[in-house]
Every structure is written in C-alpha cells, then in structure tokens.
Amino acid sequence: FDVKVHFSNKENDIFHWEYIGKVNQSKLTFNDFSSNNELIQNNNVKTNQFDTTQNLNSTLKISENEAMVTSLLFSKSKTPQSLTTNPPTVIDDLGFSLAAKQKSEFQKQFLSINNSYFISNKKIRYGIYSSFFDLRNSLFSNLLNQDNQNVSDEFSNENDYNIKNFNINPVLVFNEK
C-alpha cells in the first residue's frame, strides 16, 4: 500500500504551514536458480519494505521587515529480507557447515530541522540560517542452517552508522541606494 497526505493553511497573511506525510509498505517475493560451484540452487527471496516520511514547513511573518521560516523532515525505513537456498550452500572446506538461509534487515532514520530568521530595512538585509540533522543507519545479517540456528558468529554482521550535524550561518547584505 501507498498512502500520501497533504494539509496546508496558506490563507493567513501572518502564518503559513504545510504538512506532507507518506507511508509505503511493499512485499516482494521472487525465485531464481543459480550455479554455485556447479551445484544448481533454487533461491527464494522475500522482502517486506516499510517507509514513512513526515514533512512540516512553516513561515511566520513577524512584521513587515521580519520573518521566520522553519522546516522539519523525519523519515524512517525498515527492510527485512530472507534468502533461502535449496540445496543449502556449503561454507567450509570439509562440507560440514551448511547455510540454508540468510536473514538480514536494513534500517534508516533521518531527522532534519532547518530554521531561518530574516530581517531587513532600506539598506541592510540580515539572516541567520540554522540546521540540524541526525542520520542513523543499521544493517544486521546472519546465516542460518536448516534448523534456523546461527551457523557461526563469523557469518553475522551488525553494522551501525550514526552522524549528527548542527550549524549556524549568518548572512549580511548591504545595499547602498
């Protein structure tokens, strides 16, 4: 399913706002055949993707010479996936360790807040721009045997990547007229 919502209020001379929201969920299943060291395998992949995005924008007219503009964006996605191979894949030289399934999940979350303040008179225009963002990514995957048990910790991954940033930028423009 895919749902989109949009609300706005732009009829007021002082305060305008807008909200845009999106939610999407999709499932994907496919099968294919591959050759792995001359062994023909049937591969079954199942994915269930979920995404949401929320966006809020506003403009506030403080006076004839002052205004503030703000935007907020939040998005989150999650994509679990499973892969089943038949027959299982041999993952050691002796043929004792077999991987029949792989489970994985990718997640991403993003938050962005931007704010700008503007003031002007006949000769000077001044603005302050500030922004903040927080990005978080994670990936988890592991190999499972035919009994849905972990094959080994050697074949598991847990990766996290997080970053935050904040900045402020002033702007001054002088017109001589």
Average pLDDT across the chain, whole number: 93
Give whole-number Cα distances, 104 to 25, 47, 140, in Å. 17, 10, 5
Distance CA 102, CA 21 (A): 33
Q: What is the phi/psi pair of residue 140, to 5°?
A: -130, 135
What is the tens place of the pLDDT at every residue in 14-38? 999 999 999 999 999 999 999 888 8
Distance CA 50, CA 87 (A): 30
Q: What is the maximal distance between C-alpha atoms in the chain? A: 85
pLDDT score recorded for residue 177: 66
Averaged pLDDT, 69-89: 96
